[in-house]
Amino acid sequence: MYFFYIDESGTPESTDASGRFFVVCATVFHNSHWMDLYRRVEGLKKHFFPKTFSHHESETKGADLVSERDIKNKFKRNFVHQLLNIHDSFNLPIFFVVIDKYKSKKPCQYIWLYPLCIQYLEISIHSFLEDLGGDHTGILILDEISSQRTLKHSKEHLSYRFGNPQGKQHSRIVETLFFSNSRYSPGIQMADLFAAIVRRQEEISAAGNFCRFTDEFYKRLRNKTYETNKLTEKGFRITGYLKPFK
């Protein structure tokens, strides 16, 4: 069984002028990795932030590590590199959906855009599970925000899985959506950080600028992104780095 941890960076609303891009990321770990992953990430936090570290209570946020100001801090950059090294050791891919809100044909709204991003992720995730062969399956675990969001997205997911022709094909993604407080989930914290790195890179590139620290992190993530030669029924290649709006 594989766990796919999902989190986002930015907002999916066109009315929010603070950023052009909305990024949703999924990290994946085998269920047998969970305890090792948790211990290693907890140990890394304790090593880097001993004064503020508290077992099972310390959370790292991408916005506090790779913002325009924070990414200039060498100490924080070293922490991010070490976290990426931990992820490297499991030799598993990452999945991204990158939304350029400026290129949407209609106003972007959370109510339809967020579920769409999860559905795009499911295409890549199911393809990855197929590539593994055998009878591998996975569950999706999202950051818990509110009970209202939990109910809404669980219902959307079930409607997609049982009512949508494409969703019905994703037999390797089992159960409804699961939700976890990101404070207690290193997988979600990694997804949050990776989404923040990709969004910052996309924002910088769209503005015609360059940051070598962001670019270095971004290249490490792109090297981890899921790739396959398979095509969807509509003929586009299934990839783990998807930009739906061209």
CA distance 60 to 179: 18
- For residue 30, what is the enclosing H or E element? strand 21-30
Q: Which architecture characterizes domain 2-242 according to CATH?
A: 2-Layer Sandwich (3.30)
Q: What is the pLDDT along the chain (246 residues), one digit of tens a residue?
A: 999 999 999 999 999 888 999 999 999 999 999 999 999 999 999 999 888 877 777 788 898 999 999 999 999 999 999 999 999 999 999 999 999 999 999 999 999 999 999 999 999 999 999 999 899 999 999 998 888 888 999 999 999 999 999 999 999 999 999 999 998 999 999 999 999 999 999 999 999 999 999 999 999 999 999 998 777 776 778 889 999 987
Distance (Å) of CA 71 to CA 34, 149, 212, 213 = 28, 31, 10, 7
Check if the beta carbon of residue 101 is closer than 8 Å to that of residue 117: no
For residue 101, give the DSSP letter: G
Could you tell me the pTM of the whole model?
0.95
Kindly report the length of the chain.
246
Going from N- to C-terminal start, the domains of the chain cover 2-242
Q: What share of the chain is helix, strand, coil (3-state, %, to 5)?
A: 50, 20, 30
